[in-house]
Amino acid sequence: MEPELRALLDVLEKSNSTNLVKDYILPLAIVFMGGVIAHISTSYMRYLDAQKEKIDIANDWILGFQQAFNSLIAIKSNYHNKLTASPLQRAGSFPRTIGSAKKLDLQVSKLSFIAQHTSDFSEIDNNHKNPSYISALQSNYNLLIEILIQRNKLSEEISSSLSKKISPDVSNTTLDLDEIYTEVSPLIFLRYIQLTEQAIKMTDELAIAIHNFLCKFTDICRYAIDTKRVKHYRRIMDVYYDHLELLNKSPDVDYDALGLLLGISAQLAKEKFVTGYEDQPKPIRKTTDMLKNPSVNQSIRQHKEDIAIEKHHKYWWK
């Protein structure tokens, strides 16, 4: 056989021989690696989209509660430092609320991503991460708005009945109870007194509760959301408030006088207006001055929080 022909046959035999690695393992490995890379890439993009959605949800809640807080402060500023212990004086000094305060309608189920108890936060802060607490805060605010709506209606009715004796807004009345009862049904006026006390107490307590929630919610969201990986998207809003004097609670009503009006004991009168927020912490001091000139303790606390947040988001796939 010619050498050239033999060489050609050798080449053909080698080309027909099977190479396990090259012909089977390597193609499968390439396909597998491509699938893994595609899966990781898709998962990472979904992760980033989830973080962006969480930021939008957090900002919606912050904006919603910020508007609610502003409404409460606007209401309270109308009678702040004007109330005494007299139930009649309080009813007259709390004017009709005129404004656009609206009920909150935020979906609590979307806040499930913050519901994680951790030792990096205090028990009070962990309470602010509890969807049940946040839901109750929203419900109680909506209840207060409903109370104010009912009170406005009664205020208009009472003002109309007493228009010849006092100013139209029932403000700073000097009439005694007998004079009022000659023009207004006792049932209506006592209902007005009750709604007034409920409004005063709930406005005080909810303003503090919402303020404290807003002060803590940003840090809670920074812990729950990997903002570093979506830093070019949007920032989580932060809230500062300078007029802390408006968060001072109003003077207590004279429960003896109130109980006498309502025909119940002073103790029952006091229990009647319990809000459930009486034992909450004092208003958190978080002002714009603290943002510009943080104290040493604030800087240390912020540094510790930043370390905890960075550690929590070290691995995006966990």
Q: What is the pLDDT of residues 286-316, one digit of tens each?
A: 888 877 777 767 666 766 767 766 776 666 6
- Domain range holding 261? 21-312
Return d(Cα 216, Cα 288) in angstroms, integer. 15
Of 212, 72, 41, 79, the closest CA to residue 144 belongs to 72
Residue 2 lies in a domain: no
Taking only the tens place, the pLDDT of each residue in 149-178 is 999 999 988 888 887 666 545 545 566 788
pLDDT values of the chain reduced to their tens digit, one per residue, 318 residues: 566 666 655 655 655 556 666 767 787 888 888 888 888 888 889 999 999 999 999 999 999 999 999 999 999 999 999 999 999 999 988 988 877 778 999 998 888 888 765 565 555 566 788 888 999 999 999 999 999 999 999 998 888 888 766 654 554 556 678 888 888 899 999 999 999 999 999 999 999 999 999 999 988 888 888 888 888 888 899 988 988 999 999 999 999 999 999 999 999 999 999 999 988 889 998 888 877 777 767 666 766 767 766 776 666 655
Q: Is residue 15 part of a domain?
A: no
Chain-centroid distance of CA 97 in Å reads 23
Specify if 55 maps to a domain.
Answer: yes
Asked if the structure places residue 64 within a domain, the reply is yes
Nearest to 309 by CA among 240, 317, 301: 301
* Number of domains the chain is built from: 1
Q: Is the separation of the CB atoms in 268 and 259 below 8 Å? A: yes
